[in-house]
Structure 1
Amino acid sequence: MNVSGQQQADLDALAAEIGHGLSIDDPHGRLVAYSPHHAGADPARIASILSRHVAPEILAWQNEHGIATATEPVTVPANPELGMATRLCVPIRQGGKLLGYLWVLDGALAGAALVAVTRFASRLAAGSPPDVNSMIGRLPDSFDELAAAMPALLRTRIQICAVVPSPVAAFTGAEFRRLTTAIPSALRSSPSYIGSFVSTTHALALFSNPAAVTELAAITPDCAVGISEPALFEATSVRTAHFQALAAAELSALDPALPSPLTWSGLGPYRALMSTPDTTLSKLDSTGLLTLETYLDFGGDAKRTAAHLHLHRTTLYYRLGRVSEALGVSLDDGLTRLELHLALKHRRLARRTLG
């Protein structure tokens, strides 16, 4: 969920009225808003304010006390080992759907204060703006929801950027929490930025054309960034752009010959390989595959290939001769080189897991 400027002001006023610090988390532990009244802020809450995300062990403790299924306020007891004081959780629900939690720090409430907090949670649910970032994370399936939430995007041009760790893996917990805050913080000043979403395997950012690629790459130095072609904001085009961005990012991370950031148009032979079967190279072992791919990546330059592989030039020629013999082809033929190079890149492509 998101909190508007007026809702933030109302949160601050309510915290001052009841004399307790208040904060709002989404169902996944992302800190959405908090009041400046810090009298009851325990170490756990201070840490979540700094990282903008609740630690996994604290989420587990809260969930042990039934907050995810609660429809009424729930008291979560103190846990000194986690740096938590007692706090009150008021679920924020809209038509039975859990939108988040309103937390009252440092103690229990009763009487008028409890009524005021409960009513405020109800107002948050009723007036909660659409969660555009969540919709971006569910693209392309959420296209209709996003179009309804942001009708101004219809008939405009957009671009999608994807970010994946390089080498490809899941984000660490620390990197996941950092990017959840760093991406919107770095991009929200760009007039083209629409929203973003970070999952455990990749991040997506949606822009009105053109994309703020420089800013995105600057905050993801250990990642690969892929960029779709500009596309009209309509269902089919958004689906295509989503595929292009993920393919460019992941292949940039999988293939060291490709740069980052990488546009879809910069994928070169990979664009033609998306449906090409790889049956050419089955007779080569790993040494032959590495030697051949490096040789072709360097345009058939034997000197550079030998230096890159730390081989004597004679050893390189011997390996290339074995490759030619195993495949029954001549590496002096340009079309043969192109076919083999495409087949080698198809092996990289087959390792994709996203999109």
Structure 2
Amino acid sequence: MATELQRLIDGLGRRLQRNISVDDWRLHQLAFSSHEYGAVDRLREQSILKRDVPNGAADWTFGAGAKTAQGPFRPPVAPEIGATMQRLCVPIRHEGVLLGFVWVLEGDDPLTDQEVEAVLAALDTIAIVIQRDQLTHELHKSRARGLLRDLVAPDDARAREHAAAELIDADLFVASEPVIAVVVTLHPGEPALLDGERNVLEGWLERIGARLLDRRHVSLIRRDHGLMLLSEKDPLISGPAKLSLLEELLANLGRDLSGIDPAAGVGEPVRDLRDFYRSYQQAESAARVSRLGDEFGRVTPFDRLGVYGLLSHIPPEELTVHALPPGLRRLLEAGAKGEQLADTLEAFLEHAGDVQAAAEKLFIHRTTLYYRLQRIEEYTGAQLALGEDRLALHLGLKIARLIGLRRD
């Protein structure tokens, strides 16, 4: 069913025979005329397809004075962002507060004074509808976020069950669809987010959510990361589209926040909202592991973690230096020489004991590799000819990376 704002914009579009759209003050698209009146440019096409404006559009809009304009104005055409046709921008204000913008695509046929007056006459009604919709949206969003916090409570099954039921009963999330968790971190080690980082991350999670189907997403900012609850059945993120969307999210975060290293982990689907916390724990692990080596991308699904996925089931408080084999601890504590031998050991084990392949990986002669392997056995007390010893050392090296003792 069309919203009241959508009906207003459709009616105004029919009256003027113009392509019209409405954004909120952050340029999130709220409505657009459902019928196309003549040619459109790439900016309008992308805004409709993505339900968001492309990169550069915000700078173009606000650079033209949109935040301070008290009446209609015409930003210059900007082919670099797809704005190849002239458009009229009309700020929407209520009691001096900027709520958003009405956009009218003019092209080579500017609106007449009477047509501009028709747009201005509709502004008060549009402002009232936007205010009411925003208040309702904020109330629903606040409630959904509170329930999402309970949904990931690790030791409170009753809270999780109540939150899952309330999300569905209150029509805040669709029922009977598999769900996944996405965790977004900005720094290695997951330190607490700064206020500015929280605001930017929250803004981009909301912009991503605005491009998805209603009742199929909830986002939340936690102490050190962002969290998204997503329906696996949303056709807008099916297949590779999900990873592409998250790559875009990380790219935008990297552009807007200097000095950050964003990463995202994706949990496996669960069929019941009550089990969402499992996908959340997997997404946390995937986001953390994604920083360990080049074999992982910036967006890492849990099912690609390999042995790290198994290790993630060990309670974090148990994954300490004391979990390492004693001989491997001695090797890692031996300074620069120990690090060199640890690199050699890792290359040897990663290539399943293939001396030639390991030597080529390390750019050393096989004779040098044999010498180093002998030194490794002396340090660790292990026998590399024994599969059990190789397995213990290999797992130990993985744990050392997981707890930050080793990095590329």
- TM-score relative to the length of structure 1: 0.62
From the two aligned structures, give the one with the greater helix fraction. 2
1:1-355 counterparts in 2 under 5 A? 4=2, 7-35=5-33, 36-38=35-37, 44-45=43-44, 48-49=47-48, 52-64=51-63, 67=66, 74-81=71-78, 83=83, 85=86, 87-91=88-92, 100-106=100-106, 107=111, 110-127=116-133, 130=137, 150=168, 151=170, 159-162=179-182, 180=208, 184=212, 194-195=216-217, 204=228, 206-207=230-231, 215-217=238-240, 220=243, 226-228=266-268, 230=270, 233=273, 241-249=279-287, 251-252=289-290, 254-255=292-293, 261-263=301-303, 267-272=309-314, 274-275=316-317, 276-278=319-321, 280=329, 281-283=332-334, 285=336, 287-298=340-351, 300=353, 302=355, 305-306=358-359, 309=362, 312-325=365-378, 327-332=379-384, 334=388, 337-338=391-392, 341-348=395-402, 350=404
Residue deviations 1:63-85, cap 9 Å, x none?
Answer: 346655x7x96434332456463
Identity %: 21
- Mapped contact 2:87–2:104 kept (Cα < 8 A): no
In 2, Cα distance between the equivalents of 1:46 and 1:196? 26
Single out whichever of 316-325 and 221-230 deviates more from structure 2: 221-230
What's the Cα RMSD here? 5.5
Indicate how the Cα distance of structure 1 residues 315 and 159 shifts in structure 2: closer, same or farther if over 3 A, else same.
farther
In 1, Cα distance between the equivalents of 2:240 and 2:210? 12
What is the number of residues matched between the two proteins? 325
- TM-score relative to the length of structure 2: 0.56
Output the amino acid matched with 2:369.
L
Specify which structure has the bigger relative contact order, considering alpha-carbon pairs within 8 angstroms and separated by 6 or more residues: 1
In 1, Cα distance between the equivalents of 2:334 and 2:20? 65
State the shift of 1:346 in Å: 3.7
- Mapped contact 1:136–1:195 kept (Cα < 8 A): no
State the shift of 1:119 in Å: 0.8
Structure 2 portions without partners, runs of 5+:
152-161, 189-203, 248-263, 323-328
Indicate how the Cα distance of structure 1 residues 250 and 216 shifts in structure 2: closer, same or farther if over 3 A, else same.
farther
Indicate how the Cα distance of structure 1 residues 115 and 196 shifts in structure 2: closer, same or farther if over 3 A, else same.
same
Structure 1 portions without partners, runs of 5+:
169-175
Task: Classify the secondary structure of the residue corresponding to 1:220.
Answer: helix
State the shift of 1:92 in Å: 7.6
